[in-house]
Structure formats: C-alpha cells, structure tokens
Amino acid sequence: DAGVTQTPRHEVAEKGQTIILKCEPVSGHNDLFWYRQTKIQGLELLSYFRSKSLMEDGGAFKDRFKAEMLNSSFSTLKIQPTEPKDSAVYLCASTPGHLYEQYFGPGTRLTVL
Amino acid sequence: GEQVEQRPPHLSVREGDSAIIICTYTDSATAYFSWYKQEAGAGLQLLMSVLSNVDRKEEQGLTVLLNKKDKRLSLNLTAAHPGDSAVYFCAVSLHDSGYNKLTFGKGTVLLVSP
C-alpha cells in the first residue's frame, strides 16, 4: 500500500507569495491532519478533517492558512501570504479512524525568504 | 488544555545499552497514548500505542510503561543499536475521535553510538 504522499518535498518562497502544499492520504483513511513542525514549537495542529469535513481549523493559524479536502484522496494547504516565520516542515497525516494511530507523510520543508 | 512534558531532550547511549524516554501529562482523563519515531528528513512513524487500561506493552525490543497514578508514560529501548538513532515523540489524547487532537511531546533526540 502506498503511504501518505506529500508534494513538493521542498519549497522556497518569497515573502508575500502564495504557496500550495499537497497531500494524498493512505487509501481508505477517513481522517486527515495537517501539522507544522518547528524546533521551537514542536508539532502544531493546523487542520483536521474527518470524512472531508473540517473538524479543527487550527485557531491561531486561521488568518493566512487554509486547508481543503476536495475529495477523500487529496488535500491542499494554502498559505497566503507567506511570511518568513512560516518557514517550517509541514506534515500531513492520515488515519483509518484511530486518532492516536496516525500515518505521516515525509513532509514539505518550506523556506520563506 | 492538556500539557505534555518529555524528557530528556537529548540522549546518547552506547550500542546494546537501554535508552529510556519519559513523558508526563496533566489530564487524568487522558486515554490514548502513542510513541512515534522520526528519522532525518522523514515524517513520524508510529512505533506503539496503548490504551489507558494497559500498564505495560512490549514489542520488538520496545517496552512502553503507563503509570496512570503519576500520569507518566515511558518508552524503553532495551538494547539500542545505531539504527535507533532518531527523534522520538510521545503523543496523548483524551478521546479517539471527534473534536479532539493528539498532544505531542517536544521530542527526544536519541543518538546510539557503536
């Protein structure tokens, strides 16, 4: 079975640009998560979808971050406009139903100049 | 909300030694516990998970202990080898689904030297 795939693996953006990160969950998984990972803050939840419905929109990340799940096998995370503080690794994860057993993709490393 | 403290932040051991990582959590109603491993340039990989009715679980050289009284979760790599070098995270949640989320520890960088 294919695991969670994320593209691109690396992204470099200028401040103020719009970037879109993509995620394909494991086939058959109903839940999908987007996280931001930094050394200082650790893992922060950005969005959580259950069967394509948005369950958690990440509170503090709402203003410039928007995640969408267009179908059960594809999700995007848009950051608009980007700021240097958005430089981080963005991880996507999915699970067939157990919140505590998540399968992670390899991540996208975003650098904002 | 739930707070998770993980220690130590860095751990160096020799091949064959034990490596123990500990997490403490704050909410006594926490019911689900997991350990993840992250290798360089990769996402997190689920190692083991336990529910609150389990005190001890062993799998393939890993032992997870749960002490609900002290609100403490530990991971013991009983005979570490260099391939175990990675960052390890604990994660806990109150519920298994719904409007809920995993709370992660800040991670432990484990280095196993030959």
More confident call, A101 vs A1: A101
Do residue B101 and residue A43 have CB atoms under 8 angstroms apart? no
Q: Write the pLDDT tens digit of every residue in B30-74.
A: 889 999 999 998 999 999 999 989 999 999 999 999 999 999 999
Partner residue opposite B93 with nearest CB, options A100, A105, A106: A100
Residues from B contacting A (CB-CB < 8 Å) are 32-34, 36, 41-46, 49, 89, 91-93, 95-102, 104-107
Give the residue from chain B lying closest to A31, CA to CA: B97
The answer to whether A30 contacts chain B (CB < 8 Å) is no
Nearest neighbour of A99 by CB, restricted to B97, B104, B106: B97
C-alpha count within 13 angstroms, C-beta hemisphere, residue B18 = 9
Q: What is the pLDDT of residue B97?
A: 66
Q: Give the CA angle between residues A112, B43, A29 to the nearest 5°.
A: 110
User: Is residue B98 pLDDT above 70, yes or no?
Assistant: no
Specify the range with the lowest mean pLDDT, choosing from A31-40, A94-103, B38-47. Answer: A94-103
Q: What confidence tier does A98 reach under pLDDT thresholds 50, 70, 90? A: confident
* B53 burial level (CB within 10 Å; 0-12, 13-18, 19+): exposed
Is A91 part of the contact surface with chain B (CB cutoff 8 Å)?
yes
**3-class state of residue B24 by DSSP:** strand
Position A100 confidence tier, pLDDT thresholds 50, 70, 90: confident
> Which residue spans within chain B are E strands per DSSP?
4-7, 10-14, 19-25, 32-38, 44-51, 56-59, 62-67, 72-77, 86-93, 103-104, 108-113
What's the pLDDT band for A10 if we cut at 50, 70, 90?
very high
Structure tokens at A84: 């240097």
* CB < 8 Å to B99, chain A: 55-56
| Mean pLDDT computed over every residue of chain A | 91
Q: How confident is the model at residue B23 (pLDDT cuts 50, 70, 90)?
A: very high
Does the pLDDT value for residue A54 go beyond 90? Answer: no
